[in-house]
Chains A and B, each alone.
Chain A
Amino acid sequence: MRIHAPLKDLDHELARFQGRLKAGAAFVVLLATALLGRVFYLQVMQHEHYIERAENNRISLVPTSPHRGLILDRNGRILAENYSAYTLEITRAETDDLDATLAEIGALIEIMPGQLRRFRRLLSESHEFETVPLKSRLSDEEVAILAANRYRLPGVEVKARLFRNYQAGPGMAHVVGFVGRINDHDLKRLRAENREQNYKGSVHIGKTGLEQSYESLLHGRTGYDQMETDSSGRAVRVLSRVPPVPGKDLRLHLDLDLQAVAETAFGDYLGGLVAIDPNTGGVLALVSKPGFDPNLFVDGIDPESWKALNESPERPMVNRVLRGIYPPGSTIKPFMALAGLEMGVRKASDSIVDPGYFSLPNSRHQFRDWKREGHGVVDLRRSISQSCDTYYYKLAVDLGVDRMHDYLTRFGLGEQTGIDLNGESTGLLPSREWKQRRWKQPWYPGETVIAGIGQGYHLTTPLQLAQATAMLANGGKRIEPRLVQAVREPLGHDWQPLPGVVREQVAITPAHLGLVREGMMDVMRPGGTAARSAAGAPYAIAGKTGTAQVVGIKQGARYDASRLAREHRDHALFIAYAPAENPTIALAVMVENGGSGSGTAAPIARAVFDYYLTGKRPAGMDLEASDVAD
């Protein structure tokens, strides 16, 4: 086949070549147009989009975590503070072989078995890319050794971090609480509350106590350094800086010395005590024995310590003041008396003859008084000072369970007090409606009878009792207990007082309240149930003893503390305020297995009153003179 004439038709050849050149030129123009079009799209039409992406590439935000606020007692003594320390941290995803790395570190510096176990536990709870601390508070020498060997240990870092230190000891653990590492649960909550952003760069968060309830004040606001970074993430320079705002300092109503006095007064006993200023609601002391060392939790607790704390029969992690619920026993009687007076069921002059027991009409069952032979003729004031059961059996029946419930509720019994700590128990103040709802059963008359002396379904926390006692002291002002007195921005700012919250002003006829208060003063006077605990006090005390049964006593049997194993003895209760005429402190004490309120609980209250009102320290207690920080 011939493609074209083989003649030397030069003109034709050249013309065809010219045509091909034009086609080639057209082809090139087509390619150039495509290129220019594409680049036009990128540089002109999509410019905004790409400039943003370039900025995102270039700029990274590095969070700078704020200093956590301090927690101080009322005299400015430090309860929780920060310190900076080097920690050894490992990112699992960056290590070649975790076990080999751990072995190598172990050859360089000392790693305790407990630290290793804690590390393993933290590791199992975290993602592969999270850094997990192996050892904190490294010595300078250890830091140097690790720095020198860093090249051999990928994924191992030494970081300077802020830690929390609680130097006030186990006694304050239930008040101050502790911080711990932020876990998945915390993260989920922070995310739900839209606070996650503020925790970028934070390692710790308040887990219990004030550290938890005042977390938002203590934490402060995270700052950001806007860094220009290169493609490998290295910071090239700082573009702008939003400094972190440190957390606020907290100053408590609580007096560390008073706290120590109360703790010492417990001796070997366990239990709880809470003392409130009835005028402000300020919590002056809050003891829950036993305590624990909150410092164990800061870096993550090792499994052994956790097991020991968690499985101890003494249950050191439970705040008895907030979460311990006990039948109020005889401490309910002043409130019952007030209910009788206010509801018009009793008059001051009304008296009964106590044969030593009470029976419902048409029943042979005897509800016995604690005093077998009975108290004889008893009026309202004597019913308090003698703690006459029979009087209150009858009063309860005359009031009925629902009126009792309605009146006692106004004193905050069976409700949360609103203290500035989380996890408070509600307790239980029974009523017909409650029993129907909870147990699908009618209320039986016998249940009303024992409710009159604070037994049966009724459960309160020591904190509720203290709040109700404060109401007797301040004339019916239901004020929420507050641990924190004031907050301040750190570094030389003034304290801003936090106002107390009065939830309700219960109107009480002054004559009725005066009568009950007289009864409670009689308790502490010669002839009263706790007279011994007031002997020699230069101020007057108003109080009421009580016992919370641990084991039921059979009909006809007698309670004999000396014949019972200690853990089966009753819990001793005592509520009181002082000075009786012009109260400045109201408290509730619960001594676990303490037997009788007058025997073990009232002396503790006396020690607290003595120190708070006169500055007298209990014998055998050598506190160095208060070293006040500000």
Chain B
Amino acid sequence: MSRTSHWIIRRLGHLDGVLLTLVLVLLGISLAAVASASGQSPARISGHLVNIGLALGVMVVMANVPPHLLSRVGPSLYVAGMVLLIGVALFGEIRNGSRRWINLGVMAFQPSELLKLALPLMLAWYFQHNETVLRAKHYLIAGALLLVPFVLILRQPDLGTALMIGASGFYLLFFAGLPWKVIFGGGILGAASLPVVWGMLHEYQQRRVLTLLDPSSDPLGAGYHIIQSTIAIGSGGFFGKGWMQGTQNQLDFIPERTTDFIFAVIGEEFGYLGTILLVGLYLAIVVRGLMIAARAPTLFGRLMAATLSLNLFTYVFVNMGMVSGILPVVGVPLPLMSYGGTALVTLLLGMGILMSVATHRQLNKT
């Protein structure tokens, strides 16, 4: 008995109290929002609870995996992801006009999801591996490791995921010390090539951007989502309409409101106060994550912690920007808020890695 409990306490000892508290508060808000958005559907709420339990379990497990062990799976995970991506490009299933899915017999699977974690792990491992001899060529190789999956996913086509994965890779390069002049040079070059990129975009992608600029141009089509979610948020006012009291939410005007558009529900029912609280909680996670990064003993730990933190907020920004109408509609869930098991597990897996970095202080051998 005591051995088991000791073992459990030791496992739990690898959790970071601050992060855990923040995550639990956010999950509590999520539960309330999903309950309201689903019209208190018991199936949705219990499903969400199962997802939360599962994801928290994954987080605890990950927190107990020492970073040096984790870094070792980086290359194999990356290679597996790339093989699947190439497989998709060759044999993938086409759904809604893009080739994103691969059929693994028992289930359909999007390899791009795997890359979201595999790419930072791979790059962090790579920099850690070459820590003592870092040169320009290492940055170039890292850039290539980033670019190949980016282009493959872009060609599926899945612009949203490609950009999110590209961003995580870029953050890692940035924290690994990519020189400012390369960053700015690349930025200027990128801006200059925007018209070319626009021409390369698929029509539906162009339309999404145009719809964003003027949602009323397509009020019943793509613009409908943005119009209805901005109405929901705007009508919430400073204090909100109250939990379960949002008319846009309860009367079914907000599309996808338990998943991608859940921020519209929160904005409508909890108002600007709720928005400030929400953004504040996310910022607190980022600050905690950056603190963990600052104190991490290894380069791998530093890079992973910093990248995961920035990545989380990027998702927050892209989702809330989309729902409030300043970014195009891309299928990105709101971290720790949206209903959906895969995203939640992936996120808490990341939180687990952060905790692992925070609690495994001894230097690792590489």
Contacts and interface: CB of A to CB of B under 8 A. Distances in A.
B186 to A, nearest CB: 15
Q: From DSSP, what is the main secondary structure of chain B's interface residues?
A: helix
B272 A31 contact: no
A231 B251 contact: yes
Contacts of B293: 17, 21
A236 B253 CA distance: 13
B257 to A, nearest CB: 11
Nearest to A229: B251
A20 B136 CA distance: 18
Interface string B304-323: 00100110011011001100
B253 A231 contact: yes
B238 interface: yes
Interface stretch (A33-41, A97-105, A490-498, A595-603): A33-41
Nearest to B318: A31
B290 A2 contact: no
Contacts of B235: 47, 50-51, 53-54
Interface of A: 1-4, 6, 8, 13, 16-18, 20-21, 23-25, 27-29, 31-32, 34-36, 38-40, 42-44, 46-47, 49-51, 53-55, 57-58, 228-232, 236
Contacts of A28: 283, 286, 309-310, 313
B234 interface: yes
Contacts of B314: 31
B135 interface: yes
B35 interface: no
A35 to B, nearest CB: 5
Contacts of A36: 275-276, 279
Given A1-B135, A28-B283, 7 more contacts: A21-B175, A28-B309, A39-B320, A50-B230, A54-B231, A57-B247, A228-B251
Given A43-B267, A47-B235, A21 B279 contact: no
A25 B231 contact: no
B190 interface: no
Given A1-B136, A21-B294, A43 B275 contact: yes
Contacts of A27: 310
27 contacts: A3-B136, A6-B134, A17-B302, A24-B171, A27-B310, A28-B286, A28-B309, A28-B313, A31-B317, A32-B279, A32-B283, A35-B316, A35-B320, A38-B321, A38-B324, A38-B325, A39-B275, A39-B324, A43-B236, A47-B237, A49-B234, A50-B233, A51-B234, A53-B234, A58-B248, A230-B251, A236-B251
Nearest to A53: B231
Given A25-B286, A49-B234, A3 B139 contact: yes
Nearest to A23: B174
Interface in B205-242: 228, 230-238
A8 B135 CA distance: 13
Contacts of B326: 34, 38
Nearest to B238: A44
Nearest to B174: A20
Contacts of A4: 134, 177
Contact of A43 (B177, B238, B283, B287): B238
Nearest to A3: B136
Given A20-B174, A50-B233, A35 B279 contact: yes
A271 B110 CA distance: 88
A24 B272 contact: no
B230 A42 contact: yes
A370 B237 CA distance: 94
Contacts of A38: 321, 324-326
A228 B253 CA distance: 12
A40 B310 CA distance: 23
Contacts of B310: 24, 27-28
B271 interface: yes
Interface centre among B133, B251, B293, B320 (most CB of A within 10 A): B251
Contacts of B228: 57, 231
Nearest to B236: A43
Interface centre among B179, B228, B267, B313 (most CB of A within 10 A): B313
Contacts, number: 149
Contact of A57 (B177, B238, B251, B283): B251
A231 B250 CA distance: 10
B113 interface: no
A1 B182 CA distance: 13
The 4 closest A-B pairs by CB, nearest first: A50-B234, A54-B235, A42-B234, A230-B251
A50 B325 CA distance: 14
Contact of B238 (A25, A47, A54, A58): A47
Nearest to A29: B283
A47 B233 CA distance: 9
Nearest to B239: A43
A245 to B, nearest CB: 31
Contacts of B256: none
A46 B321 CA distance: 17
A281 B293 CA distance: 102
Contact of A58 (B251, B272, B282): B251
Nearest to B253: A231
A44 B139 CA distance: 46
Nearest to B283: A32
Contacts of B309: 24, 28
Given A3-B134, A39-B275, A16 B177 contact: yes
Contacts of A25: 286-287, 290
Nearest to B305: A21
Interface centre among B139, B231, B252 (most CB of A within 10 A): B231
A606 B175 CA distance: 115
A543 B177 CA distance: 120
A46 B287 CA distance: 31
A32 B175 contact: no
Contacts of A50: 230-231, 233-235
Contacts of B171: 24
A331 B267 CA distance: 85
Contact of A35 (B177, B179, B317): B317
A232 B133 CA distance: 63
Given A3-B135, A50-B231, A57-B247, A24 B252 contact: no
A17 B174 CA distance: 9
A31 to B, nearest CB: 4
B237 A44 contact: yes
A21 B316 CA distance: 19
Nearest to A47: B237
A155 B282 CA distance: 50
B132 interface: yes
A42 B133 contact: no
Contacts of A236: 251
B182 to A, nearest CB: 9
Interface string B60-96: 0000000000000000000000000000000000000
Interface centre among A13, A31, A43 (most CB of B within 10 A): A43
Contacts of B282: 32
B350 to A, nearest CB: 16
B237 A51 contact: yes
Contact of B135 (A2, A21, A31): A2
Nearest to B320: A35
A229 B253 CA distance: 10
Nearest to A43: B272
Nearest to A45: B234
A47 B293 CA distance: 40
Interface in B251-310: 251-253, 267, 271-272, 275-276, 279, 282-283, 286-287, 290, 293-294, 302, 306, 309-310
Contacts of A47: 234-235, 237-238
A3 B177 contact: yes
Given A6-B134, A39-B324, A54-B235, A17 B175 contact: yes
Contacts of A49: 234
Interface centre among A17, A55, A58, A230 (most CB of B within 10 A): A17
A238 to B, nearest CB: 14
B313 A42 contact: no
Contacts of A229: 251
